[in-house]
Amino acid sequence: MIFDGKVAIVTGGTRGIGAAITSHLAKGGATVAAGYSRDTAAADKLRAELGAAGKNISLHQGRVDDADDCNRVVKEVLDQHGRVDFLINNAGITVDKTVRKMTVDDWHNVLGVNLFGAFAMTKAVIEHMIERGSGRIVNISSVIGETGNVGQANYAASKAGLVGLTKSVALEMSQRGITVNCVAPGFIKTEMVAAIPENVLAKIVEKIPQRRLGSPHEVARVVCFLLEEESSYITGAVYTVNGGLDM
Ligand code: CAA
């Protein structure tokens, strides 16, 4: 199988797009260390499902907006599995409010998980990847980082920030066998999108050229493509998966 012998860390890897990435990687033969912060039931369910199918998955509780947690989780993964080949910075939250209503905490909480979290996890794993002279990092951005959105100043800033983080780390790692890329999904059928008020979501779907939401699977397969050995000449790139929303 294509990812046999590889070890991947997927933050927010037990729900939504993250669960699809975990599942694709595990089915491709990788050992997957799936991070989660609170939802133990969803994590246990995914582990049971994949475990029953004979796949290798370990669960790691921690907050990506806490650098100590990030370092601890990476140490746990190295102790358990001996190496880290792939880091997928997928953990993300929304606190949607117009700027007039958004509090300073709303700003910091979203930027902390979505942007600082990717930095802290990258920092926690990068020396190991440099030592081995290989690694793949994929950051999950969003179409909102490019277009902006009413009620999402914090989220849009965090997702645009991930593009800058991606390109900077890609440049720094370009001669060390480590690629760093972004996947920017549009509106994907997950709990996050299900929380959008129904009337607002209907208007969003009208604007999507394909007139439908994407599936987590459609995002996960692009992430896996970027992780393949033969994708080694792709770095600092942003792959969009959005039904044509940014045209
Ligand atoms: N354009 C401009 N202004 C708008 C607007 C629009 N389309 N819609 C609303 N507004 C303005 C209103 O005029 C109002 O302005 P004032 O405060 O100056 O009066 C203000 O926004 C608040 O409007 P409401 O009172 O009607 O709405 P609210 O405060 O209850 O909620 C909202 C506003 C938080 C933006 C809500 O509509 C919402 O949750 N929208 C969905 C946001 C969204 O699309 N989130 C995506 C989540 S999925 C995701 O993020 C994944 C991904 O990567 C794609």
How many Å separate Cα 49 from the centre of its chain? 21
Whether 155 sits among the annotated catalytic residues: the reply is: yes
Q: Tokens 């990258």 correspond to what residue?
A: 122
Confidence of residue 216 (pLDDT cuts 50, 70, 90): very high
What is the pLDDT averaged over residues 74-83?
Answer: 98
Rounded distance, CA 178 to CA 149, Å? Answer: 33
Three-state DSSP class for 77? helix
- Residue 98 CA to ligand 1 center (angstroms) comes to 6
Spell out the domains of the chain, with CATH numbers in brackets.
7-186+217-235 (3.40.50.720)
- Residue 209 CA to ligand 1 center (angstroms) comes to 21
pLDDT tens string 30-61 = 999 999 999 999 999 999 999 999 999 999 99
Q: Percent of the chain, pLDDT > 90?
A: 100
What is the pLDDT averaged over residues 75-87?
Answer: 98
- Residue 202 CA to ligand 1 center (angstroms) comes to 13
Confidence of residue 115 (pLDDT cuts 50, 70, 90): very high
Out of 100, 147, 150, give the residue to mutate to test ligand 1, the one with the largest number of ligand atoms within 8 Å of its CB: 150
The pocket around ligand 1, CB under 6 angstroms, is made up of: 94, 96-98, 100, 142-144, 149-152, 155, 186-187, 192-193, 196-197, 200
What is the pLDDT averaged over residues 135-142?
Answer: 98
Contact 213, 188 (CB under 8 A): yes
CA-195 nearest atom, ligand 1:
47
What is the pLDDT averaged over residues 235-242?
Answer: 98
Rounded distance, CA 112 to CA 93, Å? Answer: 10
The residue contributing the CA closest to ligand 1 atom 30 is 97
Rounded distance, CA 141 to CA 178, Å? Answer: 19
